[in-house]
Structure 1
Protein backbone atom coordinates (compact mmCIF):
# COMPACT_ATOMS: atom_id res chain seq x y z
CA UNK A 1 0.00 0.00 0.00
CA UNK A 2 1.31 3.45 -0.91
CA UNK A 3 0.06 6.94 -0.11
CA UNK A 4 1.09 10.53 -0.76
CA UNK A 5 0.07 14.07 0.08
CA UNK A 6 0.34 17.02 -2.28
CA UNK A 7 1.34 19.38 0.56
CA UNK A 8 3.65 19.69 3.56
CA UNK A 9 2.39 18.72 7.03
CA UNK A 10 0.39 21.30 8.97
CA UNK A 11 2.12 20.32 12.23
CA UNK A 12 4.32 17.58 13.70
CA UNK A 13 4.12 16.42 17.32
CA UNK A 14 5.54 13.71 19.53
CA UNK A 15 2.77 12.11 21.56
CA UNK A 16 3.11 10.26 24.86
CA UNK A 17 -0.57 9.26 25.28
CA UNK A 18 -0.97 5.61 26.24
CA UNK A 19 -2.42 4.70 22.82
CA UNK A 20 0.64 6.14 21.06
CA UNK A 21 2.95 4.37 23.52
CA UNK A 22 1.31 1.07 22.55
CA UNK A 23 1.68 1.89 18.86
CA UNK A 24 5.33 2.95 19.32
CA UNK A 25 6.33 -0.05 21.48
CA UNK A 26 6.60 1.99 24.68
CA UNK A 27 7.98 5.22 23.29
CA UNK A 28 6.27 8.37 22.01
CA UNK A 29 4.92 8.30 18.48
CA UNK A 30 5.87 11.06 16.07
CA UNK A 31 2.83 12.24 14.13
CA UNK A 32 2.44 14.60 11.18
CA UNK A 33 -0.92 16.31 10.59
CA UNK A 34 -2.04 16.70 6.97
CA UNK A 35 -5.18 17.99 5.24
CA UNK A 36 -7.33 15.08 4.04
CA UNK A 37 -7.75 16.94 0.76
CA UNK A 38 -4.57 16.14 -1.11
CA UNK A 39 -4.25 12.52 0.11
CA UNK A 40 -4.02 9.85 -2.59
CA UNK A 41 -3.67 6.13 -1.89
CA UNK A 42 -2.86 3.01 -3.85
CA UNK A 43 -4.79 0.27 -2.08
CA UNK A 44 -7.18 0.43 0.84
CA UNK A 45 -6.11 0.29 4.50
CA UNK A 46 -7.73 -1.89 7.14
CA UNK A 47 -9.44 0.09 9.91
CA UNK A 48 -9.88 -0.18 13.68
CA UNK A 49 -12.20 2.23 15.56
CA UNK A 50 -11.47 3.10 19.20
CA UNK A 51 -11.96 5.84 21.79
CA UNK A 52 -8.98 7.94 22.91
CA UNK A 53 -8.30 9.46 26.35
CA UNK A 54 -9.05 12.84 24.76
CA UNK A 55 -12.65 11.68 24.30
CA UNK A 56 -12.34 11.48 20.52
CA UNK A 57 -13.57 8.54 18.51
CA UNK A 58 -10.53 7.50 16.50
CA UNK A 59 -10.36 5.67 13.20
CA UNK A 60 -6.94 3.98 13.03
CA UNK A 61 -5.81 2.70 9.64
CA UNK A 62 -3.12 0.12 9.00
CA UNK A 63 -1.68 -1.81 6.07
CA UNK A 64 -3.76 -4.98 5.56
CA UNK A 65 -0.67 -6.81 4.24
CA UNK A 66 1.99 -6.12 6.90
CA UNK A 67 0.02 -4.55 9.79
CA UNK A 68 2.00 -1.30 9.87
CA UNK A 69 0.01 1.48 11.51
CA UNK A 70 -0.39 4.34 9.02
CA UNK A 71 -3.00 6.91 10.01
CA UNK A 72 -5.28 8.11 12.78
CA UNK A 73 -8.34 10.21 12.15
CA UNK A 74 -10.37 11.90 14.88
CA UNK A 75 -14.11 11.90 14.24
CA UNK A 76 -14.13 15.50 15.51
CA UNK A 77 -11.56 16.57 12.86
CA UNK A 78 -12.61 14.91 9.57
CA UNK A 79 -10.59 17.40 7.51
CA UNK A 80 -7.23 16.13 8.85
CA UNK A 81 -5.25 12.88 8.79
CA UNK A 82 -2.54 12.10 11.34
CA UNK A 83 0.30 10.12 9.78
CA UNK A 84 2.98 8.15 11.61
CA UNK A 85 6.20 9.87 10.47
CA UNK A 86 8.04 6.54 10.32
CA UNK A 87 5.82 5.51 7.41
CA UNK A 88 6.86 8.49 5.26
CA UNK A 89 9.54 8.13 2.59
CA UNK A 90 10.92 11.53 3.67
CA UNK A 91 11.05 11.27 7.46
CA UNK A 92 12.98 14.57 7.67
CA UNK A 93 9.62 16.41 7.52
CA UNK A 94 8.89 14.85 10.90
CA UNK A 95 10.84 17.02 13.33
CA UNK A 96 8.38 17.53 16.21
CA UNK A 97 7.45 21.13 17.01
CA UNK A 98 5.81 20.07 20.30
CA UNK A 99 5.46 17.15 22.69
CA UNK A 100 1.98 16.27 23.96
CA UNK A 101 0.54 14.03 26.69
CA UNK A 102 3.74 14.35 28.71
CA UNK A 103 1.67 13.62 31.82
CA UNK A 104 1.41 10.02 30.57
CA UNK A 105 5.12 9.64 29.79
CA UNK A 106 7.13 7.20 31.91
CA UNK A 107 9.76 8.61 34.28
CA UNK A 108 12.59 7.55 31.96
CA UNK A 109 11.21 9.47 28.95
CA UNK A 110 13.62 12.05 27.55
CA UNK A 111 11.66 15.22 26.82
CA UNK A 112 13.62 17.84 24.88
CA UNK A 113 13.45 21.01 27.01
CA UNK A 114 13.81 23.12 23.85
CA UNK A 115 10.48 21.82 22.49
CA UNK A 116 7.16 23.05 23.97
CA UNK A 117 5.36 20.48 26.16
CA UNK A 118 1.70 19.88 27.02
CA UNK A 119 0.63 17.48 29.79
CA UNK A 120 -2.52 16.40 27.93
CA UNK A 121 -4.41 17.18 24.75
CA UNK A 122 -3.62 20.71 23.53
CA UNK A 123 -6.11 22.93 21.82
CA UNK A 124 -6.07 22.13 18.14
CA UNK A 125 -5.59 25.15 15.91
CA UNK A 126 -8.00 25.58 12.99
CA UNK A 127 -6.93 23.94 9.75
CA UNK A 128 -5.99 26.60 7.19
CA UNK A 129 -7.89 26.35 3.91
CA UNK A 130 -6.21 24.35 1.20
CA UNK A 131 -4.45 26.49 -1.42
CA UNK A 132 -6.87 25.30 -4.11
CA UNK A 133 -9.82 26.56 -2.01
CA UNK A 134 -8.45 30.11 -1.82
CA UNK A 135 -10.32 32.70 -3.88
Structure 2
Protein backbone atom coordinates (compact mmCIF):
# COMPACT_ATOMS: atom_id res chain seq x y z
CA UNK A 1 0.00 0.00 0.00
CA UNK A 2 1.15 3.55 -0.69
CA UNK A 3 -0.28 7.06 -0.52
CA UNK A 4 0.51 10.01 -2.79
CA UNK A 5 -0.10 13.55 -1.54
CA UNK A 6 0.36 16.90 -3.24
CA UNK A 7 1.67 20.22 -1.98
CA UNK A 8 3.19 21.22 1.30
CA UNK A 9 1.91 19.88 4.62
CA UNK A 10 -0.76 21.90 6.41
CA UNK A 11 1.13 21.05 9.59
CA UNK A 12 3.66 18.67 11.06
CA UNK A 13 3.36 17.40 14.59
CA UNK A 14 4.25 14.72 17.03
CA UNK A 15 1.89 13.02 19.46
CA UNK A 16 3.04 11.51 22.75
CA UNK A 17 -0.37 10.10 23.78
CA UNK A 18 -0.24 6.57 25.10
CA UNK A 19 -2.40 5.30 22.22
CA UNK A 20 0.07 6.65 19.63
CA UNK A 21 2.97 5.17 21.59
CA UNK A 22 1.27 1.76 21.50
CA UNK A 23 0.13 2.13 17.89
CA UNK A 24 3.58 3.01 16.57
CA UNK A 25 5.63 0.89 18.96
CA UNK A 26 7.72 3.99 19.53
CA UNK A 27 7.81 6.88 22.00
CA UNK A 28 5.68 9.17 19.81
CA UNK A 29 3.99 9.41 16.42
CA UNK A 30 5.30 11.89 13.85
CA UNK A 31 2.60 13.03 11.40
CA UNK A 32 2.26 15.45 8.51
CA UNK A 33 -1.25 16.59 7.56
CA UNK A 34 -2.10 17.27 3.93
CA UNK A 35 -5.12 18.68 2.13
CA UNK A 36 -6.93 16.70 -0.56
CA UNK A 37 -6.43 15.35 -3.08
CA UNK A 38 -4.53 12.23 -2.20
CA UNK A 39 -4.52 8.80 -3.77
CA UNK A 40 -3.99 5.39 -2.21
CA UNK A 41 -2.66 2.39 -4.10
CA UNK A 42 -3.22 -1.10 -2.79
CA UNK A 43 -5.35 -2.56 -0.04
CA UNK A 44 -5.40 -1.24 3.51
CA UNK A 45 -6.46 -2.71 6.82
CA UNK A 46 -8.27 -0.33 9.15
CA UNK A 47 -8.31 0.29 12.88
CA UNK A 48 -10.71 2.82 14.45
CA UNK A 49 -10.33 4.42 17.84
CA UNK A 50 -11.81 7.31 19.77
CA UNK A 51 -9.40 9.83 21.27
CA UNK A 52 -9.56 11.52 24.68
CA UNK A 53 -11.49 14.49 23.27
CA UNK A 54 -14.10 12.22 21.61
CA UNK A 55 -12.86 12.39 18.00
CA UNK A 56 -12.84 9.13 16.04
CA UNK A 57 -9.82 8.29 13.91
CA UNK A 58 -9.44 5.63 11.23
CA UNK A 59 -5.86 4.37 10.91
CA UNK A 60 -4.82 2.56 7.73
CA UNK A 61 -2.22 -0.19 7.80
CA UNK A 62 -0.53 -2.09 5.00
CA UNK A 63 -1.85 -5.65 5.36
CA UNK A 64 1.36 -7.02 3.87
CA UNK A 65 4.06 -5.29 5.95
CA UNK A 66 2.04 -3.82 8.86
CA UNK A 67 3.08 -0.21 8.30
CA UNK A 68 0.66 2.28 9.88
CA UNK A 69 0.87 4.74 7.00
CA UNK A 70 -1.95 7.27 7.40
CA UNK A 71 -5.17 8.19 9.16
CA UNK A 72 -8.25 10.37 8.84
CA UNK A 73 -10.51 11.91 11.45
CA UNK A 74 -14.29 11.52 11.32
CA UNK A 75 -15.97 14.87 10.70
CA UNK A 76 -12.81 16.46 9.27
CA UNK A 77 -13.19 16.11 5.51
CA UNK A 78 -10.46 16.88 3.05
CA UNK A 79 -7.36 16.11 5.13
CA UNK A 80 -5.16 13.11 5.71
CA UNK A 81 -2.34 12.66 8.24
CA UNK A 82 0.60 10.64 6.97
CA UNK A 83 3.35 9.08 9.07
CA UNK A 84 6.49 11.15 8.47
CA UNK A 85 8.56 7.96 8.42
CA UNK A 86 6.51 6.78 5.44
CA UNK A 87 8.28 9.37 3.30
CA UNK A 88 11.69 7.85 4.13
CA UNK A 89 13.18 11.36 3.82
CA UNK A 90 15.68 12.40 6.53
CA UNK A 91 15.36 15.95 5.17
CA UNK A 92 11.63 16.14 5.96
CA UNK A 93 10.73 19.31 7.85
CA UNK A 94 10.72 19.11 11.68
CA UNK A 95 7.56 19.17 13.80
CA UNK A 96 5.87 22.46 14.61
CA UNK A 97 3.80 21.15 17.52
CA UNK A 98 4.03 18.49 20.21
CA UNK A 99 0.71 17.27 21.60
CA UNK A 100 0.23 15.31 24.81
CA UNK A 101 3.64 16.70 25.70
CA UNK A 102 2.83 15.86 29.33
CA UNK A 103 3.08 12.16 28.37
CA UNK A 104 6.43 12.56 26.61
CA UNK A 105 9.28 10.28 27.66
CA UNK A 106 11.52 12.41 29.88
CA UNK A 107 14.57 11.89 27.65
CA UNK A 108 12.86 13.14 24.46
CA UNK A 109 14.12 16.65 23.72
CA UNK A 110 12.72 18.94 21.04
CA UNK A 111 13.88 22.17 19.41
CA UNK A 112 12.81 25.32 21.27
CA UNK A 113 10.68 26.32 18.27
CA UNK A 114 8.22 23.43 18.78
CA UNK A 115 4.90 24.46 20.39
CA UNK A 116 4.16 22.25 23.39
CA UNK A 117 0.62 21.28 24.39
CA UNK A 118 -0.03 19.13 27.47
CA UNK A 119 -3.11 17.69 25.71
CA UNK A 120 -4.70 17.88 22.25
CA UNK A 121 -5.35 21.59 21.60
CA UNK A 122 -8.45 20.82 19.46
Structure 1 residues 67 and 6: alpha-carbon distance in aligned structure 2, compared to 1, 3 A threshold: same
Conservation of the 8 A alpha-carbon contact between 1:101 and 1:119? yes
Displacement of 1:38: 1.7
1:82, distance to aligned residue in structure 2 (A): 0.9
Alignment of 1:110-121 (within 5 A): 110-121=109-120
Structure number, greater radius of gyration? 1
Question: 2:77 aligns to what?
Answer: 78
User: 1:48-90 deviations in whole A, cap 9, x for unaligned?
Assistant: 1111123111101000111110112111312211111001143
2:90 and 2:39 mapped to 1: Cα distance?
18
CA spacing shift, 1:105–1:58, aligned 2, 3 Å = same
Shift, 1:110, TM fit = 2.5
Q: Are the counterparts in 2 of residues 30 and 94 from structure 1 also a CA contact under 8 Å?
A: no
Q: Which runs of 5+ in 2 are unaligned?
A: none
Give matches, 1:1-135, under 5 Å: 1-35=1-35, 37-123=36-122
1:91 positional shift: 4.8
The Cα offsets for residues 16-75 of structure 1, whole Å up to 9 and x where unpaired, read as 11111112324111100011x220121121111111123111101000111110112111
> TM-score, normalised on structure 2?
0.88
Unaligned runs of 5+ in 1: 124-135
Q: Which stretch of structure 1 is more off in the superposition, 87-96 or 58-67? A: 87-96
Give the number of equivalent residue pairs.
Answer: 122
SS of 1:92's partner is: coil
